[in-house]
Amino acid sequence: MVAGPPGSMKTVMTLNAVKNIGVPTLYHSSDSDDFTMASRSLSMLTGTATDETELWVMTNKQLAHDTLKDMDFVRWSFMSSPTLEHMEREADAFFELKGEYPHLTVIDIMMDINYEGAGEQNYWALMAELKDMAREQETAILVVHHTSESAKAGSPPPRSAIMGKANQLPTLILTLWGDAHAGTLDVATVKNRFGPQDPMAKNGTFKMKAQPALCLIEEMEQPAEVPVLFRDGPWTDKEDKINEWGD
């Protein structure tokens, strides 16, 4: 799960992740239409500002088409209020076309899914359904979700800010705080079933370089004293490891 308040670059972060992972992907984009995602993808691929790539989509369709071939491992669904049945049909269609289910399924954004309980914003039952879908299709599911706007601004929200009882089943939850003026995106690993986590988003936050006008999120060189999640692997010197395990 990638979660954050409005304007925290959730979709831009997710789009960059999809590009960098580069596996067969089914992307349910209910929050943004095809025009928006095409212009954002063009911007990310070429380093051109979105106000210009929007013109490509409208007036230079051949250039847009040729450039977007670099993302042809992604199949898109733009249903504004998809049901679980709709998502299953899209996955079956992907299987018929590709001979396999998508390796990665993106749901952007969870609150748009049409299911019983949506009105009360109780996502517990929905998360259980998505867990079953992931197992049956052998697909990794990446969900984009909101956090409560009552959480303290200026830093990634804690795990408790995840809306609608949706924080219990995901294996990994990242919360975001983007600063377009500073050109940075702060990321906190508030849940990680198989590694270090910081539920309060106080100690494990790491900073990334963000260029929202170009739809780019990139790694930023980290000072040695910053407890970055990726400095906890078996290849890391013992004195440089994060001690998040309490031992």
* pLDDT of the residue at 62: 95
* pLDDT of the residue at 139: 98
pLDDT in tens, 3-23: 999 999 999 999 999 999 999
CATH topology of domain 2-240: Rossmann fold (3.40.50)
Helices (H), the chain: 10-21, 34-46, 50-59, 61-68, 84-98, 124-137
In 3D space, the residue among 232, 192, 183, 189 whose CA is nearest the CA of residue 211 turns out to be: 183
How confident is residue 54, by pLDDT bands cut at 50, 70 and 90? very high
In the chain, where the domains are located: 2-240
* pLDDT of the residue at 117: 65
244: pLDDT strictly greater than 60: no
Residue 147's SS3 state is strand
146: pLDDT strictly greater than 70: yes
In 3D space, the residue among 108, 103, 124, 100 whose CA is nearest the CA of residue 27 turns out to be: 108
pLDDT in tens, 154-203: 899 999 999 987 888 999 999 999 999 999 999 999 999 998 899 999 88
Cα dist from 225 to 3, 21, 66, 118, 239, whole Å: 26, 28, 44, 43, 11
Q: With contact defined as beta carbons under 8 Å apart, do 103 and 25 qualify? A: yes
> Chain-wide mean pLDDT for the chain?
89
pLDDT in tens, 66-107: 999 999 999 999 999 999 999 999 999 999 999 999 999 999
Distance between CA atoms of 160 and 79, rounded to whole angstroms? 30
Q: At what angle do helices 34-46 and 61-68 cross, to 10 degrees?
A: 70
How confident is residue 118, by pLDDT bands cut at 50, 70 and 90? low
